[in-house]
A and B are shown apart, each in its own frame.
Chain A
Amino acid sequence: MIGIQEISYTYPHTVQEALHHISLFVPKGQCVMVTGPSGAGKTTLCLAAAGILYHEYGGKKEGRVSVEEKDVAGYASLAELAKKIGIVFDDPEAQMVFTTVEEEILSALEHRGLDAAVIEERLDAIMKATYLEELRNRSPHNLSGGQKQRVALAATLALGNEILILDEPTSELDERATQRITGILKTLKKQGKTILFVEHKYQHFRDMIDMLVVLENGRISAAGDPDTVMRDERIHRMVIPDFTGIRDVDTESGTVARRQEPPVISVHDLSYLYGDIPALNDISLEIHSGEFVAIVGENGSGKTTLVRHFNNLLVPTSGDVVIRGMNTRHCSVAQLARYVGLVFQNPDHMFFADTVKEEVAFGLRNLKRTGEEKIIDESLDNVGLLHTKHLYPRWLSRGERQRLAIACVIAMQPEIIILDEPTTGLDGNEARLVMRILKDLQKKGHTLIIITHNREMARSCADRIILMEKGTVVSDTSEGVP
């Protein structure tokens, strides 16, 4: 169905090849998973397989791509290829064209030459299959990242194409939502669809994939039967994050000792409403200096809303948040930035400087810290990015940008560091590296709070797990700790 022969590609205005002599054949009805580190060329491979590189991109191209045994050059335009291939890109927000979820899917169906009755029938089926019925009249722009991913997938599934190309379709989804997507893809495979997808969640998809392809530096480093490929220990570590041993840095005793001290964060009866919608409901908790806390829960459970109160990005509707004895109601975000550092889920929201060094210096200058040069070097060294000091931040890979975001925050030396989904989109090695960095920061005395869907990671790395559901704390495993 998709044939890629000796494809090499270099983006315009760059010298390094994004893909180097890639050959891959995806037979009809098979499911191929592509994985690898960020910056390996996975998205570029998706664009090549869909014929988009040929029809829409400049740059240097070599090799041949065929879809249903016809060279992509033989298709008059992307519109022709779109009759064969459905593609979901990795940025769900950018794929929202219309203003309600239903419109988004209906508009995709209207261009397939189907009868009106069939369109209505398929619309309902797709909404049901992707669990979007309740969101039918919601604006896609106001949905969570995970919900947007489901809408983007639903709009593509609505096209009913025989070939599906999915670029990280579950990166922002929680466990349950990922299982739902896995279920949908299994059904599509049973229906004979051909699926090529990029993912990091190998274990969720193991049952359905026929071939595993590992891409590194634009080259295929391993490809074939998943079990055979996974026998290679190095590949195994890259594909499945291994967090064992991270907890062994002996921070437990320190944490316990500091629990006797006053808490650095106290939340009292906190409730928050987004308009009329309750997001947090009567939350009370305390976090002590030196703790490593993981806040886990499904999409929309209120995790991010809770931590946004810690640096006053949100003001409580009722209740109070006290940071180091200061009620956040009486502090500005800039004042709290001295004590609380927040690494957002999307690091690209912060980068604007011309060099990595300047990016890190920005926070330091805001806080008027002295010894800038030394702190920048130390911070970049801590996250293994000292060698990128003079590079443009947006040239870095996703994993490197995530580490740069951490460096920007640790340079400001806040006592409390909060990270929202710090391992999203990272491969096993990168995820382990990030968690190792965080554990080292805890060792140096910082209080760490991470938000994650990944309970396995939380169990392996955090000393305390707070489980949230529908805006409330349903369990807090530290309660048993003396």
Chain B
Amino acid sequence: MAEILAYVYKDGFFHLLHPVTKIVFIVVVSLMCIISTNPVFLFALVFVILLIAYLGKLYTEVIEQSRLIIMMSIVFIIITVITMPNGIIIGYLIPIGFPVLGGTVPVTWGAIEIGVILSLRFMILIYAFQIFIISTKPRDLVHTLEKMRMPIDYVLMFIIALRFIPTLQIEGIRIHEAQLARGYNPGPGFMGRIRSVAPIIVPLVSNALLRANVLGLTIDMRGYRTITRTHVREMELVFSDYAVMGSLVCIACGFFVLLVLQIM
């Protein structure tokens, strides 16, 4: 089982990039996907990010989380169709012949287009952030963010938040197994998940709170919050980093030119 947002020890090209390069990548990709409203461009961006994941030997980890991301995207589209009717009506979510409610929720091209754009943006942000996090050692990230003058407490908060995701995932599975062994059968699907909330979430949250307390004390007692640090095995910016950053800047400039010329 792949752990969500946990660093993956591999030797892909994305792993070798300096965290600063990856941060530039995240910034450029995020800006382009937020600004662009062109579904074709956004779709191409999803494809490019998945290609980067493939070339960086991170495809398996990225694809394993795809089911959840696609489900969320479908939910986005449905919510948009219901809440933002716009443009040509192509049908109705509840057929017209249905008593009372029939024909009350129109499905429009405009709403579908907005929903697709939102979903693609969501996919791009999640995939890009995922390959950034799973290819970057937290220690390298701490060093980089510190050098970028981010306060150490915020850096540690960010790292701890990330570190808790796989911990909660593993803990959740253990608790689920413990309850199954007690004959608990919440049933499949969405309702099963709703039913399993109390027996799983309560111990999960209780244990996580205790852990968070110990983790906070550990950080203090190991001196992670002190400013003085000897920098060991730090990553240096090398030619490939400059090349990637240069390319990203060129891509960003090209994007803005196309935007200004209203080609996109």
Please report A residues at the B interface, Cβ cutoff 8 Å: 50, 52, 56, 77-79, 81-83, 85-87, 89, 91, 93-100, 103, 106-116, 119-120, 137, 139, 141, 155-156, 159, 311, 313, 332-334, 337-338, 340-342, 344, 346, 348-352, 362-363, 366-367, 394, 408-409, 412
Contacts and interface: CB of A to CB of B under 8 A. Distances in A.
7 contacts: A93-B211, A99-B7, A106-B139, A120-B232, A159-B223, A344-B178, A350-B203
Contact of A78 (B198, B220, B230): B220
Given A95-B218, A346-B174, A352-B198, 12 more contacts: A87-B217, A89-B214, A94-B213, A97-B138, A111-B229, A111-B230, A112-B223, A139-B3, A313-B181, A348-B207, A349-B174, A412-B182
Contacts of B7: 99-100, 139
B181 A337 contact: yes
Given A52-B217, A79-B220, A119-B230, A350 B166 contact: no
User: What's the dominant secondary structure at chain B's contact region?
Assistant: helix
B161 to A, nearest CB: 12
B182 A366 contact: yes
A199 to B, nearest CB: 19
B139 A103 contact: yes
Given A108-B222, A366-B184, A95 B214 contact: yes
Contacts of A110: 229-232
Interface string B170-188: 1100110111111111000
A114 B231 CA distance: 10
Contacts of B139: 98, 103, 106-107
B232 A119 contact: yes
B19 to A, nearest CB: 14
B226 to A, nearest CB: 5
Given A100-B137, A156-B222, A348-B203, A337 B183 contact: yes
A78 B221 contact: yes
B224 to A, nearest CB: 6
A341 B181 contact: yes
B190 interface: no
B6 interface: yes
Shortest 10 CB-CB distances between A and B: which pairs? A366-B183, A94-B214, A337-B183, A352-B202, A99-B7, A334-B185, A111-B223, A94-B211, A78-B220, A333-B180
Given A79-B220, A103-B137, A116-B231, A350 B183 contact: no
Nearest to A99: B7
B162 to A, nearest CB: 9
Contacts, number: 177
B263 interface: no
A97 B219 contact: yes
Contacts of A89: 214, 217-218
Nearest to A90: B214
Contacts of B170: 141
Contact of B182 (A50, A348, A363): A363
Among A83, A159, A349, chain B packs the most CB atoms within 10 A around the CB of A349
Contacts of B184: 334, 362-363, 366
Interface of B: 3, 6-7, 9, 137-139, 142, 159-160, 163, 166-167, 170-171, 174-175, 177-185, 198-200, 202-203, 206-207, 210-215, 217-226, 228-233
Nearest to A95: B218
A349 B206 CA distance: 10
A159 B183 contact: no
A362 B225 CA distance: 44
B182 A350 contact: yes
B176 to A, nearest CB: 9
B222 A113 contact: no
Contacts of B231: 110, 116
A338 B199 CA distance: 19
B210 A94 contact: yes
Contacts of A91: 210-211, 214
A113 B210 contact: no
Contact of B178 (A86, A94, A349, A412): A349
A313 B222 contact: no
Contacts of A313: 177, 180-181
Contacts of A337: 180-183
Contacts of B137: 98-100, 103
A86 B185 CA distance: 45
A72 to B, nearest CB: 13
Contacts of B185: 332, 334, 366
Contacts of B215: 94-95, 97
Contacts of B213: 94
Contacts of B217: 52, 56, 78, 87, 89
B207 to A, nearest CB: 6
A97 B203 CA distance: 22
B21 to A, nearest CB: 20
Contacts of B212: 94
Contacts of B233: 106
Contacts of A99: 6-7, 137-138, 163
A100 B3 CA distance: 14
A52 B219 CA distance: 13
A101 B217 CA distance: 19
Among A77, A111, A112, A408, chain B packs the most CB atoms within 10 A around the CB of A111
